[in-house]
């Protein structure tokens, strides 16, 4: 069975990063941005900011246990001709600005390959990714390890995601969150980066699929079944790690972000999950079906709400109980 | 210097191909087919060739076309394959036979767009002709279905002329006066009584015979055809009462004199079918142009014209403009939905409570299905612009009460439909509805209305079937129809409750569980900032689709209703089963709460 309501509850209560944490994240990013703008050296070079990664794609999930959750944002900087020979200067300058700030200097902050990472005390860090629009029109970020520019197209990736999510009736992002939950909370296919997982799942969503299988993206469990089974078929036909192009159209690939070992493990896990999802979906006994879904997602996958035998209203205890012979109708799940 | 004679047109490549095929066929079948002479090509590019078919072996039946041993016919070949060849009889022996046009063209392709395939070439044309001759000789043609048979088998229509709508039965006498009332720029309604100050008088005249050669193009032509100087000798309709050209002229002049200047003078001729003389006559409508009509008025002001020759030349030779006639008389019209489930609504009295996404479309579908009387009521706010994406209203309705706007729309759909608006339920004024109506449809999704219907269900000897229609909030693609038949004293709400318990316990009906579940916050939509009441997702396509299914299901049941609930899903949802009916069984008495 599908247990659509269970998935809704599971996503809302367990998988999704809460609205409060998302709000906190937005506030902190804005504070960092304003601090950098106020910096007398860096501030004049700052042209704007925009979310990136899972935060931008709304595929961010609750971290496991005490692990940190993170958010990336892109810091749009003006090109500085004096730094042309050393792109890492952009990262260094952002780092220096934080390092001199009265608040952030006391918080852990480090330089990473493509960003400056600022860590908060309560399980959260923010990655600040400087990017520059070069005179030739290319939008680039810094690869500090190699001392090179890397072409990027976050707007293209967002557009791709929006298109795929629309085809899947808004269910693709939810499926990605569920799959990230399997990876992070159920320790399945560890090692597969989010960008690859997102790309592989998103590329399975095609306009033609619902024409041949009506309703296949109709709700969350059906979309999960459809996409994971389609991914399984695609991967089973590819024993050797395939090349994964960046769907944003940057011309790059994500091939360097995993290897054959990681791929083979991921492929085997998807094969297993496809069978598990199919079994839980097709099981007609409600209790057995929930058990199968819980085998996959763990004990936090909720039990279906039990309705009182005489009523279709929610099971909340009324202060003044309804007389037993009165039928209490609810038509809130209906429209006309 | 000699003057060069202009060269004759020559056959096109397509015509040459057909002629070559024809010659080969004649060579292969010398007894059955002969080609007589050489083809001619006229200035318009049409090639004509005379052939002879040996028809002595064709079966004959009583009443069939009398074929001779050999029949000479003319094949006319268009220059391209886009149009099929046609066949002419070089005589008038076939005139009056069904599927013979204007006395001499054999209608071998009724619908060329579907029946003509150029790939078949000449062989297919000749086989088609042979089949036509066989069917004609064995009396296979149904003259009653040959629409224009009475007037030479061809449509009489002049581009730009209005359509005349006829719904009243008749005419039943050879000559009477009718009235045309303009309904729009393109439409005039024909009635026996004057219905409007601007109605125009016209003669409606019955002929004694058909017009196998058509009705002609001028007034003089028409009068000659009426006097039947070339009518086939053997006419079963001979002896019927009908008017002659003098009577026609007199009636036309009388009407013209009584109509205002600068108006066209119309007429309608009732033309009997030659082979079905007892059936309703074909109605042919035409008019004299304004200028000729005014001349007729002037010329006949001092006296009634005795014959055509007394008319001024410009009236006599005036071209007749033929009007398309929408013949909707009961004797000649079969409703296109006569065999469909919604025919159960024909003539019914229907209450529709709730004029939103479901109710507004249900009302239109039931109006089109032929309900006699629809009573509307609505609980809610007026029409707003945001509703137009899925409810049956338009820009002019914004600001109007839904029931009032819908009434206006329904009245525009059918002249013979009565629509009224009543107080919203629950109202004491509606207590008698179960005795007045054949069916009450609740499309309100209101618990209060549901309670009210449950009360009405208990009215002794109630006449109305009670129904509730709803859809789901997330896609408006699932449908739910609950029916309380006359023999059930529980209303739809109680039935819905019992059925809900059954559905929720049935895993195979899981996609329908949402219809009995509280919606999640994300299941609904707030279409406008500040809109305090969330509403459901859905497009007009969703609502029309699901409502049409629900109306059809109700129509299926209406003749012999059984209490219970229909569940249905639109095909694009992928939900299975796409339809499921849960019959209502009375629950055992006693408390239902453990």
Residues of B in contact with A285 (CB under 8 A): 507
Over 90: is that where the pLDDT of B366 sits? yes
Which residue shows structure tokens 């070069």?
A134
Phi and psi at A75, nearest 5°, equal: -110, 110
User: pLDDT digit string (tens) for B376-418?
Assistant: 999 888 999 999 999 999 999 999 999 999 999 999 999 999 9
Which range has the worst mean pLDDT, A48-52, B49-53, B220-224? Answer: A48-52
d(CA B320, CA B285): 10
Over 80: is that where the pLDDT of A20 sits? yes
d(CA B385, CA B399): 9
**How many percent of chain A have pLDDT more than 90?**
69
Most confident of A13-27, A302-316, A317-331: A13-27
Count of CB atoms situated within 10 Å of the CB of B70 = 11
Which range has the worst mean pLDDT, A160-164, A269-273, B272-276, B284-288? Answer: B272-276
**Which ipTM value was assigned to this complex?**
0.73
User: pLDDT digit string (tens) for B26-51?
Assistant: 999 999 999 999 999 999 999 999 99
d(CA B203, CA B180): 10
Alpha-carbon dihedral A99, A100, A103, A105, rounded to 10 degrees:
30
Over 80: is that where the pLDDT of B588 sits? no
Residues of A in contact with B522 (CB under 8 A): 8
Please enumerate residues of A whose Cβ is less than 8 A from a Cβ of B: 1-2, 4-5, 8, 210, 213-216, 218-219, 222, 284-286, 289, 307-314, 324-325, 327, 329-336
Looking at every residue in chain B, the average pLDDT score rounds to 91
| Segment B88-102 mean pLDDT | 92
Over 90: is that where the pLDDT of B305 sits? no
A interface test, pick of B360, B502, B520, B578 with most A CB neighbours within 10 Å:
B520
Cα of B402 to nearest chain A Cα, Å: 14
Of A218, A284, A310, the CB nearest to B573: A218
Q: Does B571 touch chain A (CB under 8 A)?
A: yes
- B589: confidence class by pLDDT, cuts 50, 70, 90: very low
Over 60: is that where the pLDDT of B268 sits? yes
pLDDT of residue B392: 98
Q: How far apart are the first and last CA of chain B?
A: 120
Over 50: is that where the pLDDT of A71 sits? yes
Question: CA gyration radius for chain B?
Answer: 32
Residues of A in contact with B516 (CB under 8 A): 312, 330, 333
Judged by CB atoms within 8 Å, which residues 348-407 of B form the interface with A?
354, 356-359
**How many percent of chain B have pLDDT more than 90?**
79
pLDDT of residue B370: 97
User: pLDDT digit string (tens) for B528-567?
Assistant: 876 667 888 999 999 999 999 999 999 999 988 999 999 9
d(CA B419, CA A245): 63
Could B357 and A8 be called an inter-chain contact, meaning their C-beta atoms sit closer than 8 Å? no
pTM for the model stands at 0.82
d(CA B134, CA B393): 55
Give the bridge partners for B288, in sequence order.
Answer: B265
Of B359, B513, B571, the CB nearest to A336: B359
Nearest CA to A101 among A118, A84, A123, A113?
Answer: A118
Could B592 and A325 be called an inter-chain contact, meaning their C-beta atoms sit closer than 8 Å? yes
Phi and psi at A118, nearest 5°, equal: -120, 125
Cis bond upstream, residue B334 (ω within 30): no
| Segment A160-167 mean pLDDT | 95
Cα of B374 to nearest chain A Cα, Å: 19
pLDDT of residue B243: 87
Of B511, B522, B571, the CB nearest to A8: B522
Residues of B in contact with A1 (CB under 8 A): 507, 510
Nearest CA to A328 among A307, A308, A312?
Answer: A312
pLDDT of residue A326: 57
| Segment A223-235 mean pLDDT | 98
Containing A148, the helix (H) or strand (E) segment is: strand A148-151
Over 50: is that where the pLDDT of A315 sits? no
Q: Does B470 touch chain A (CB under 8 A)?
A: yes
In the DSSP assignment, the letter for residue A12 is I
């Amino acid at each position: 069975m599908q247990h659509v309501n269970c998935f809704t509850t599971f996503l809302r209560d367990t998988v999704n990063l809460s609205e409060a944490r998302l709000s906190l994240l937005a506030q902190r990013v804005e504070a960092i941005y304003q601090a950098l703008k106020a910096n007398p050296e860096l501030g004049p070079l700052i042209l704007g900011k925009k979310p990136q990664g899972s935060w931008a794609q709304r595929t961010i999930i609750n971290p496991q246990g005490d692990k940190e959750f993170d958010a990336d944002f892109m810091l749009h900087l003006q090109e500085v001709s004096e730094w042309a020979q050393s792109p890492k200067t952009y990262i260094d300058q952002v780092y220096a600005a934080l390092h001199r700030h009265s608040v952030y200097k006391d918080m852990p902050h480090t330089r990473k390959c493509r960003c400056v990472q600022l860590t908060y005390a309560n399980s959260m860090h923010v990655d600040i990714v400087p990017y520059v629009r070069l005179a030739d029109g290319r939008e680039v970020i810094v690869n500090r390890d190699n001392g090179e520019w890397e072409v990027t197209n976050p707007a293209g990736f967002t557009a791709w995601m929006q298109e795929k999510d629309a085809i899947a009736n808004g269910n693709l992002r939810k499926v990605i969150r569920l799959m990230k939950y399997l990876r992070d909370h159920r320790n399945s296919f560890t090692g597969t980066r989010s960008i690859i997982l997102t790309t592989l799942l998103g590329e399975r969503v095609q306009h033609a699929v619902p024409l041949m299988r009506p309703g296949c993206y109709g709700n969350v469990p059906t979309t999960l079944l459809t996409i994971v089974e389609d991914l399984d078929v695609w991967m089973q036909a590819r024993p050797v790690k395939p090349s994964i192009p960046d769907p944003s159209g940057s011309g790059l690939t994500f091939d360097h972000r995993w290897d054959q070992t990681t791929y083979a493990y991921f492929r085997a896990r998807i094969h297993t999950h496809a069978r598990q999802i199919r079994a839980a979906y097709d099981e007609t006994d409600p209790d057995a079906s929930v058990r199968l879904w819980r085998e996959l997602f763990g004990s936090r996958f909720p039990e279906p709400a039990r309705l009182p035998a005489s009523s279709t209203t929610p099971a909340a205890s009324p202060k003044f109980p309804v007389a037993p012979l009165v039928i209490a109708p609810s038509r809130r799940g209906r429209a006309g | 210097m000699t003057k060069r004679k202009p060269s004759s047109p020559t056959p096109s490549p397509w015509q040459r191909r057909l002629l070559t095929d024809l010659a080969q066929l004649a060579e292969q079948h010398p007894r059955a087919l002969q080609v007589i002479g050489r083809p001619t090509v006229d200035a318009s590019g049409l090639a004509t060739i005379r052939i002879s078919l040996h028809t002595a072996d064709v079966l004959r039946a009583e009443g069939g076309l009398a074929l001779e041993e050999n029949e000479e016919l003319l094949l006319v070949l268009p220059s391209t394959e886009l149009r099929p060849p046609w066949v002419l009889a070089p005589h008038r022996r076939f005139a009056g036979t069904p599927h013979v046009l204007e006395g001499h063209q054999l209608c071998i392709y009724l619908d060329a767009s579907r029946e003509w395939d150029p790939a078949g070439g000449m062989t297919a044309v000749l086989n088609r002709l042979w089949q036509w001759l066989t069917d004609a000789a064995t009396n296979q043609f149904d003259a009653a279905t040959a629409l224009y048979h009475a007037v030479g088998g061809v449509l009489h229509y002049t581009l730009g002329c209005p359509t005349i709508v006829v719904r009243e039965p008749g005419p039943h006498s050879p000559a009477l006066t009718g009235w045309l009332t303009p309904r729009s720029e393109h439409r005039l309604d024909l009635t026996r009584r004057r219905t409007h100050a601007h109605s125009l008088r016209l003669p409606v005249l019955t002929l004694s015979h058909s017009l196998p050669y058509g009705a002609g193009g001028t007034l003089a032509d028409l009068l000659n055809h009426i006097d039947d100087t070339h009518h086939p000798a053997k006419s079963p309709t001979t002896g019927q009462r009908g008017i002659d050209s003098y009577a026609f002229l007199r009636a036309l002049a009388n009407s013209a004199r009584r109509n205002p200047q600068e108006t066209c003078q119309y007429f309608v001729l009732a033309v009997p079918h030659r082979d079905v003389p007892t059936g309703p006559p074909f109605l042919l409508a035409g008019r004299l142009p304004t200028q000729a009509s005014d001349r007729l008025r002037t010329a006949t002001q001092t006296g009634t014209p005795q014959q055509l020759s007394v008319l001024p030349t410009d009236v006599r030779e005036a071209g007749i403009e033929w009007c398309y006639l929408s013949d909707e008389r009961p004797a000649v019209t079969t409703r296109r939905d006569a065999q469909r489930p919604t025919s159960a609504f024909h003539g019914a009295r229907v209450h529709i409570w709730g004029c939103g996404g479901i109710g507004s479309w249900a009302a239109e579908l039931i109006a089109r299905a032929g309900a006699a009387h629809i009573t509307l009521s609505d609980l809610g706010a007026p029409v707003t612009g945001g509703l137009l994406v899925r409810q049956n209203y338009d820009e002019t309705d914004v600001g109007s009460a839904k029931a009032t706007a819908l009434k206006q729309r329904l009245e525009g759909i059918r002249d013979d439909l009565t629509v009224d608006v009543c107080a919203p339920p629950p109202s004491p004024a509606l207590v008698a509805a179960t005795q007045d109506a054949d069916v009450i449809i609740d499309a309100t999704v209101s618990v209060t209305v549901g309670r009210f219907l449950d009360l009405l269900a208990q009215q002794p000897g109630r006449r109305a079937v009670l129904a509730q229609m709803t859809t789901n909030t997330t896609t408006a693609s699932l449908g739910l129809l609950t029916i309380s038949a006359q023999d059930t004293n529980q209303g739809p709400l109680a039935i819905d409750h019992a059925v809900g318990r059954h559905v929720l316990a049935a895993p195979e009906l899981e996609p329908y569980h949402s219809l009995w579940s509280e919606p999640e916050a994300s299941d609904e939509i707030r279409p406008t900032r500040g809109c305090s009441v969330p509403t459901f997702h859905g497009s007009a396509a969703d609502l029309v689709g699901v409502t049409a299914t629900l109306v059809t299901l109700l129509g299926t049941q209406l003749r012999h209703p059984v209490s219970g609930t229909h569940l249905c899903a639109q095909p694009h949802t992928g939900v299975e089963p796409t339809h499921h009916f849960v019959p209502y069984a009375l629950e055992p008495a006693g408390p239902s709460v453990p």
